[in-house]
Structure 1
Amino acid sequence: MVFGRLVVLVKRQMDTYLDNKSYQLAEVKISKRVRIGILESVYQFAELARTAEAAFAGTERRADLNRWYAQLITSLKDGIEYAATSPFSKSPAAVVRFENYHYFYSVLSELKIDCLDVQRKEAKKAYQDNIEIYVKELMGRPLEKIHVSFARAIYYYEIRHFFESVENAIRQGVKPEEIAFHQQFSRLELKKVISLYPEKEVKKGLEQLYKKIEKHLMDDSSLLQVVWRNMQDEFLKQLKHYNEVMGQCYPNSRIDFEVSVQDVLSYFSQFAMQH
């Protein structure tokens, strides 16, 4: 009888403790402009999970622990989202998300908690998705100047970016081999656009990009090279696409970018090793 009451009392105290902890994980406080990094609440969850796994291993209270995990993780996610969108954050929202979800994923992978396998996979997807979002937000159109046409578009209500306009014209029925015969898409216009982006500008822009990423991420972040590789892939994807469009619409024009795919690979590797 006494033992039964003691068990109930302990359970109530544990519920109260974890309710309070859940509240703390969601209530992230950011009162000044800072680079966020890994949230203290994420570290706290990791410590709590390690302790709980050791304490509850093989006990009858395992079901209770699994139930508590669901509530704690919901609160943890709320805290991450609050920090990501905080007006006091100096970090891009996607960076806050992928740094914290990556750490969270690493903890769950380390502990191998069966009931949290779905959450582990969700955390992995969240950090990967947000790296992709960050890459697209930061890089945008890496060869932005190349998109811009100086000629006034005939077929559009507003001036469009050069390669986008070419592709739109093809979608509307203009044959690729006829593109160069339209004044706004002539070889001369293409040459003007290409000349805006010499090799030295590409190299300079990539170096500035790397330095910006360094400022956004935590010091000595293990994700820096992961992000940089994603940047490289996105840059090359767009460069190759432009080359394909030119090959399709301007064959034998001998108009090429000053930088090749191999040049770009060399620049990305060079900046990664220098910093």
Structure 2
Amino acid sequence: VSKQMLEQVLRELQPLCTVEQQFIEKFFQLSHDAADLQVLKVSVRTMSSPVPLAKEPTTQLLSEIFSCLEPELRGFLDVCNKVHPFGCLQVLVTLNDSIFEMWGSSSALPSSFLNSVLGNMLLLAKSSFNKCIGTLCKEIEETKMPSKMKGGILPSVSRFEEFVSFSEEVFRTARRRGELDKAHLRLAVSVFSSINSLSSANLKVNTDMVMMENFHHIHCFLCQKKIHCLEGKKREAKQRYSEHMEKYVIKYLGQPLEKLNHFFEGVKARVAQGVKEEEVSFQLAYSKQELRKVIEKYPGKEVKRALETLYRKIHKYLSPEENLLPVVWHAMEQEFIRQYQEFEDLIQRCYAGSGIAMDFTMEDLLSYFNSITLSN
């Protein structure tokens, strides 16, 4: 409603001011200088406030006749801005489009006075818009994750999406969107900062999991919206989502084979320190006997049980809306296979001829994952 009212006000102002200007010019035998007209054209084309024509008598007379116009317009725009939390977007678009339409549809040059007034209103609208974006950026950056929240999409991410969706609809048919593109980038930086701040937060759930889900959510949202200025942020969101999924997977995969993983980390450390591979088994802490003890703690059935527990835990904490469980579980399977192959390789290199082997084979491992996937 406010948009329609503002459009109507602007439509009615043009003929009113133009007719009055024509009357004054005719009555007082005044006319525009060609150079002045060019200034007006350039000022509207660049959407800036025109250079004041201090000595232009027509503008001076109109300013006195319509002395209340600018204050009244300011008050009206203020009301329009307050109709909706993001009302300033609609005001900016309406002013921009109306000025373009005014200059494009009329063969007669619009009133220089009206051009000056609307230029000032446009600057005011841009200022209100920038203040709104600044406030929203601060709100997004300072949004705290609810203490009882166990994961899922952050309020700051939802707020970002709300604004982007609303603004894209408002600017859908706009003649210009430069201001909006700048705002989108500012807000994207703020929402990324909000997610990054989780790394120092004291969460009850895995931080990488929450960050993974939120970056994934933003990536999917931006893929859907196809906003050109946010293509870089879309790629960054995908990269960050992948990074945090990798961290999440590696951290949780240390648990099913924790002692075995710890043992082989020690083996790799000794080799890195210069111990020959064939001499590692002579180290007391990494002897063949110690390796057998660790391997005995991980019979096949225990590994499968540990994987089932891991699956249930992941299922419990991942938000169903993002549908990341199959993706994460597949990534865990790939990482588990990589670890298994690394363990087997280290046994072959550092404990050659010992006859030591894991209690389960690669085929067993694949069947464990397949069984868990099919049963859930």
Does the CA-based 8 Å contact 1:95-1:130 persist in structure 2? Answer: yes
- Give the counterpart letter for 1:45 in structure 2: F
Q: C-alpha deviations, 1:23-79, integer Å up to 9, x for none?
A: 222221345332131023212222321232233246443111111112211221232
The 1-side partners of 2:321 and 2:367 are apart by 23
Does the CA-based 8 Å contact 2:185-2:229 persist in structure 1? Answer: no
Q: How far 1:213 sits from its partner (Å)?
A: 1.1
1:261 aligned to 2:362? Answer: yes
Q: C-alpha deviations, 1:190-228, integer Å up to 9, x for none?
A: 322221211121111111111111222113541111111
Q: Secondary structure of 1:21's partner?
A: helix
Q: How far 1:91 sits from its partner (Å)?
A: 2.3
Q: 1:178 to 1:14 in 2, by over 3 A?
A: closer
Q: 1:107 to 1:198 in 2, by over 3 A?
A: same
Segments ≥4 residues shifted beyond 6 Å? none
Question: 1:209 aligned to 297, 310, 328, which one?
Answer: 310
- Give the counterpart letter for 2:177 in structure 1: R
Using the TM superposition, name which of 76-85 and 216-225 deviates more: 76-85
Does the CA-based 8 Å contact 1:142-1:235 persist in structure 2? Answer: no
For 1:112, the equivalent position in structure 2 comes to 226
Question: 1:134 aligned to 248, 259, 265, which one?
Answer: 248
1:50 aligned to 2:165? Answer: yes
The 1-side partners of 2:168 and 2:328 are apart by 32
The 2-side partners of 1:17 and 1:231 are apart by 43
Q: Secondary structure of 2:320's partner?
A: coil
Q: Secondary structure of 1:251's partner?
A: coil
- Unaligned 5+ residue runs, structure 2? 1-113
Q: How far 1:169 sits from its partner (Å)?
A: 4.1
Q: 1:172 to 1:47 in 2, by over 3 A?
A: closer
**Which protein has the larger Cα radius of gyration, Structure 1 or Structure 2?**
2
Does the CA-based 8 Å contact 2:217-2:322 persist in structure 1? Answer: no
1:223 aligned to 2:324? Answer: yes
Q: How far 1:144 sits from its partner (Å)?
A: 2.1
- Unaligned 5+ residue runs, structure 1? 148-160
Does the CA-based 8 Å contact 2:137-2:187 persist in structure 1? Answer: yes
For 1:36, the equivalent position in structure 2 comes to 151
Question: 2:213 aligned to 80, 93, 99, which one?
Answer: 99
Among the aligned pairs, what percent are the same residue? 36
The 2-side partners of 1:31 and 1:252 are apart by 56
Q: 1:66 to 1:217 in 2, by over 3 A?
A: same
Q: 1:30 to 1:190 in 2, by over 3 A?
A: closer
Task: Flag the structure with more relative contact order, 1 or 2, with Cα contacts below 8 A and sequence separation at least 6.
Answer: 1
Question: 2:294 aligned to 163, 181, 193, which one?
Answer: 193
Q: How far 1:97 sits from its partner (Å)?
A: 0.9
Q: 1:37 to 1:186 in 2, by over 3 A?
A: closer
- Give the counterpart letter for 2:314 in structure 1: I
Question: 1:24 aligned to 139, 154, 170, which one?
Answer: 139
- Give the counterpart letter for 1:265 in structure 2: L
For 2:70, the equivalent position in structure 1 comes to none
* TM-score in terms of structure 1 length: 0.83
The 2-side partners of 1:132 and 1:93 are apart by 12
- Give the counterpart letter for 1:110 in structure 2: Q
The 2-side partners of 1:18 and 1:189 are apart by 62
How many pairs were matched up? 261
The 1-side partners of 2:247 and 2:270 are apart by 29
Does the CA-based 8 Å contact 2:215-2:238 persist in structure 1? Answer: yes
**Structure holding more helix per residue:** 2
Q: 1:272 to 1:34 in 2, by over 3 A?
A: same
Question: 1:69 aligned to 184, 189, 211, which one?
Answer: 184
- Give the counterpart letter for 1:269 in structure 2: N
Q: How far 1:90 sits from its partner (Å)?
A: 2.5
Q: How far 1:274 sits from its partner (Å)?
A: 2.4
Q: How far 1:124 sits from its partner (Å)?
A: 0.7
1:273 aligned to 2:273? Answer: no
Q: How far 1:142 sits from its partner (Å)?
A: 4.0
Cα RMSD of the aligned pairs, angstroms, is 2.5
